[in-house]
Structure 1
C-alpha cells in the first residue's frame, strides 16, 4: 500500500514538473514571429507615441519585430473589437483606461465585453492633460479664467480631446455656472493652430497637443488635471492644488491581452514591459512626450481602471455623458 502511494505521489510530481517545464518553454520561445500592438487611436496621438516608444524597447528585448497597428474610430471601439475578434496570441492591445471605464457607461451595446474579453497586464503611463489658454485672454490661472468667463458669458470658445478631458471641463463649467461655446474638430492639429491664433480660448488636451502654441509664446498652461503637480510641468499647478477638484483625473493607458493568452506568456509580457518602462532612455522619451511612467502588474492596472470608472460615474451624476460623446 505504501509503495503504491509513493508511486502515485511521484507520478503527480512528475506531471507537475513536466507541465511547469512546458509552460516555461512556451514563454521562453515566445514570440516566434512579429508581435502586433493594436492601438485604437490615430497615428501621432499621445497613445500612439507611447506605444511606439514602448514597442521599440520590446523589439530589442524580444529579438522580434513589434509593429504598431493604428485602428482609430468609435471612441476605441473599432480597434478594440478588431483585436478581440482576431484572437491572435502574437497581438497586444494598447489603450486608455477609458476603454474599460467610459465605454460601458456611454455605449448601450458593445461588440465586446471589457470585463471578460480584455485581460489587464501593465499600467504603462499617465498621459498628462493640461488646461491651456490663448495669451490674448490675459489670464494666468484657473481662477483668472473663471472670473473672465463669468464676466463675459458666452463670448469665449473652448475645445478638448474626447471623453474625460471634455467631460471634466463640461462639469467645471456647469458646476460653476459658466457659459462657453464648445468647438469640435475632426483634425487633431487644427485646435493647436486655433489656440495660438485666439480662435479658441481654452484647450484641454494632452500636453504635447498644446505645446506648439505655448512654445511659440501664443498660449500658456494654467493647470494640469493630474491629482498632484507633475514633474513634467513643475511650474504649473494641478487643478486640485488650485482649488478645482472637479478637473482632476488620471488619463492612464495600459497593455492588455486576450483572455486566451497563456498565463506563462502573460507573465513574460508583464516582466518585459516593466523592464522596458524602467529603462532610463525609454522613460526619458515618454516624459518628453508628456507622459509619466506608472508600471506594475495586473492588480495595479485593475485598481486604476476601477478608480477611473468610479470617477466617471461621479461625473455622470452631473452631466449626461451620452449627450456629449
Structure 2
C-alpha cells in the first residue's frame, strides 16, 4: 500500500545487527576480489562499489576490482553475479530496480530470490526534485497546486518504466494527491536532457546528477527527499520543510553474492563491509552524492528487505499495468 509516509526501502529502518560472530573465514580472500556493478562508471552503485572496495582492499591486503557490466536495465551485471563461482571472490551491487524487473520484464535469466545470496543493505539513497531553470515553478507548493488544478497537464520524466525515478515520482504523486503524467525516456541521461530542454515539467534525479546541474544554473531544485538537508545542496529544503510533512522517500543499495556462497564468507563480507562503511571519511564522501550509510544489518535482514520489495513493486507494476519502455 502507498501511504503518505513511504520509503522506497519498504521499511522505516533495519534493525541493528546484534551478536554477529567475529570469526574470519581462514584464508579468505586468497586472491583478488571482484565487485560487479550493473550500471556504467559514475552511477551511484559504481561510486558505492569503488568507495567500499577501496576500504576492503586496505583491510584485506588484496586487490578489489570494480567491474562495470551495464545493459538490459541491470540484468546483464546481475546475471554475471548469479553465474559466478560461489567462493566469495565475486559479488555485486543490488539495488531497487532489481526488485522491479521480475514483474516488469517477465522471466529473467536468473532468479533474484533463488540465485543470489544477500550480504547486507549498505546505503539509503536520496534524490532531488528538480525543474528546468527557466520554469515558472519556484517552489514545491507551486508544482503541487499546478498539478492539482490541471490534472495530467504537468509531466515528470524518468529513465524508463519501472526506473527509480518513475517509482519515486509515482509514490510522490499518490501521496500528495498531485496528478502528473509520466514521460519515460531511454535512460536517466536522456530524461535529464529532456528536462533541461523543457520538454517535461519535473523529475526526481539522483543527487550526484542534480547537484552539478543545479549549481551550474541549468536546473532548479525544489526539494530533497532526505530527512535532513543534503550536504551537497544545503540551501534546498527537504520535502517536509517544503510543505509535505511526514513524507520521506528513499532507495537502497546493497551487496549480494552468488547463491551457495559459504555462510561464513557471507558473514565476513557483511562484517568487513560495515567496518569500512563506519568510517567518517566514507560517510562524508557518500553524503556528497545523497547517500546515507545504513545501520549495520544482517544478511537475513537484507534478504527480508529484498523479498518485501519484490512483493511491493510486483503489486505496483500489476496495479499500474506497466510494460517495458
Specify if TM > 0.5: yes
Unaligned runs of 5+ in 2: 1-22
Q: How far is 1:307 from its partner?
A: 4.2
Q: How far is 1:38 from its partner?
A: 0.8
User: Which moves more between the two structures, 267-276 or 191-200?
Assistant: 191-200
Tell me what 2:92 maps to.
Answer: 93
Tell me what 2:58 maps to.
Answer: 60
Give the alignment's TM-score, normalised by structure 2.
0.79
Tell me what 2:77 maps to.
Answer: 79
Q: Which has the larger radius of gyration?
A: 1
Check the 8 A contact 1:195/1:213 in 2, yes or no: no
Q: How far is 1:208 from its partner?
A: 1.3
Aligned-partner Cα distance in 2 for 1:305–1:202: 29
Tell me what 1:139 maps to.
Answer: 137
Tell me what 1:109 maps to.
Answer: 107
Please report the RMSD computed on the Cα atoms of aligned residues, expressed in angstroms: 3.0
Q: How far is 1:251 from its partner?
A: 0.9
Higher RCO, 1 or 2 (CA under 8 Å, sep at least 6)? 2
Unaligned runs of 5+ in 1: 1-23
Aligned residues: 296
Is 2:280 the partner of 1:280?
Answer: yes
Check the 8 A contact 2:131/2:221 in 1, yes or no: yes
Tell me what 1:48 maps to.
Answer: 46
Tell me what 2:5 maps to.
Answer: none
Check the 8 A contact 2:37/2:77 in 1, yes or no: yes
Check the 8 A contact 1:161/1:205 in 2, yes or no: no
> How is 1:1-325 mapped onto 2 (pairs within 5 angstroms)?
27-89=25-87, 90-99=89-98, 101-151=99-149, 156-162=154-160, 163-170=163-170, 176=177, 178-180=179-181, 182-186=183-187, 188-226=188-226, 228-229=227-228, 231-232=230-231, 235-238=236-239, 242-243=243-244, 249-296=249-296, 297-313=298-314, 315-316=316-317, 318-321=319-322, 323-325=323-325
**Structure (1/2) with the larger helix percentage:** 1
**Which string of whole-angstrom CA distances, capped at 9 and with x for unpartnered residues, describes residues 115-171 of structure 1?**
121111111111212211123223233331132345566665532245232134246
Give the secondary structure class of the aligned counterpart of 2:156: strand
Q: How far is 1:172 from its partner?
A: 5.2
Check the 8 A contact 1:157/1:183 in 2, yes or no: no
Give the secondary structure class of the aligned counterpart of 1:137: coil
Check the 8 A contact 1:91/1:257 in 2, yes or no: yes
1:261 to 1:318, Cα distance in 2 relative to 1, 3 A:
closer
1:94 to 1:324, Cα distance in 2 relative to 1, 3 A:
same
Give the secondary structure class of the aligned counterpart of 2:39: coil
